Amino acid sequence: MKNKVHIFICIQLLLILILIWLVVNLGRDEYNNIQEPGAKIEKKSPLVEMERGINIVTLSNDIQKNSGIKTVKIKKVSGIKNLTSYANVLNIDLLIEQKNKFNEIKNQINIFSNEFDRDQKNFDRLKLLNDDNKNISDKALYESKTQFENTKIKLENTQALISGIKQNIRAQWGETILAMIDQNLNKNLLNLLILNQARLIKVTLIESSSHDEIIGPPKEINVALIDNLNEYFIAKYLSEAPTLDKTLKGKTYFYIVYNGQLRIDSKIIANLIQNTTQINQMNFLSIPKDAVVWNSGLAWIYIKTSDNKFVRKVIDTNNESADGWVISDSQIKENDQIVINGAQLILSEEFKYQIKNENDD
């Protein structure tokens, strides 16, 4: 009996030791990750160094060759080609409706104005007769006065309506288009729009450093349908648009395309080319699309600073060209060596040791 008890106790001890061993080994990773709140364990790639707060990626010539990393000199451009955000070919049915309503009420105002003048003159005449020994009855004078006052109320109400419509047109279409309707300015253009022989487009020009020195919006831009970028239409500036596009950042403008081929509500893009003579001593550089890598919502490029060292820099993507982007030379200089093949590999090397690996292998 005692032997059985001893055997049972030994088995229990053995099970306890096995459990302790399992707890220690399985909990090792979690135990190693225990740290003070707010503290960070950072591991650096042996190929990444930090100098003055900037990561420097060092790749030997052999690694560069085996990884297919290629660089080219950044080139200067003689002008800016700005690809705007999406623009729209506007439906002007509402404008036509507002114009017709405006003209209808304006005709009513003319009618009520004539009636008001007539009723006022009639009331003044009857009042003189009534004052002259009651040559006209008080009842007739009262009826004339009532008619005159009613006509005056109709005229004032109609004038208030026309003011409201003018305010709506001004708020939605701006002063220039309101003047076309209210004052018959540029009447031919309005007729072309109504007859579908021209199109009104709303363009958002992105605000960026490259536009800071340009006075006002461009007088002409090239526009093209998104699904047919090879066919361009010339759009001429009309006015600043009173409303913004909430989905895009920048100022909005109205342009006219003297062509009815663009379909209403079509999505278009607009290319703006400005010569550097229009910009105060600013230099611009061309960045190829293949050189750009995206991280945290920003566009980055890698500059080769020596035979085996690379530095990552962020670029502005407001000014897009057919083969990349155009940027100012405020941070990056002409003839800097830019990585055009292998930039994603360098980015991965720079950040791979910041990825948490639970098994530490």
Q: Burial, 131: exposed, middle or buried (Cβ in 10 Å; 0-12, 13-18, 19+)? A: exposed
Write out pLDDT tens, residues 216-266.
Answer: 688 888 888 877 777 788 899 999 999 887 777 778 899 999 988 888 888
Using an 8 Å Cβ cutoff, are 352 and 295 in contact?
no
Is 45 a residue whose pLDDT tops 70? no
Residues pairing with 203 in the sheet: 253
CATH fold for the domain made of 48-69+283-354: 2.40.420
Question: Which region among 139-143, 233-237, 293-297 has the lowest average model confidence (pLDDT)?
Answer: 139-143
Q: Burial, 294: exposed, middle or buried (Cβ in 10 Å; 0-12, 13-18, 19+)? A: exposed
Mean of pLDDT over the chain: 78
CA separation for the pair 39, 293 (Å, rounded) = 30
Question: Which region among 23-27, 211-215, 235-239 has the lowest average model confidence (pLDDT)?
Answer: 211-215
Cβ neighbours of 180 (radius 10 Å): 22
Residue 281 is predicted with a pLDDT of: 47
Q: Which of 352, 349, 328 is nearest to 339 (CA)?
A: 349
| Residue partners of 27: CB distance under 8 A and separation at least 6 | none
CA 237 to chain centre: 19
CA separation for the pair 28, 38 (Å, rounded) = 21
Using an 8 Å Cβ cutoff, are 299 and 314 in contact?
yes
CA separation for the pair 200, 134 (Å, rounded) = 64
SS3 214: coil
More confident residue, 43 or 110: 110
Model confidence at 178, in pLDDT bands (50, 70, 90)? Answer: very high
Residue 147 is predicted with a pLDDT of: 80
Residues pairing with 298 in the sheet: 295
| Residue partners of 99: CB distance under 8 A and separation at least 6 | 181, 190
CA separation for the pair 51, 333 (Å, rounded) = 20
Residue 201 is predicted with a pLDDT of: 92
CA separation for the pair 82, 88 (Å, rounded) = 17
Residue bearing tokens 């049972």: 8
| Mean pLDDT, range 122-133, rounded to an integer | 77
CA separation for the pair 203, 225 (Å, rounded) = 13
Is 60 a residue whose pLDDT tops 70? yes
More confident residue, 60 or 148: 60
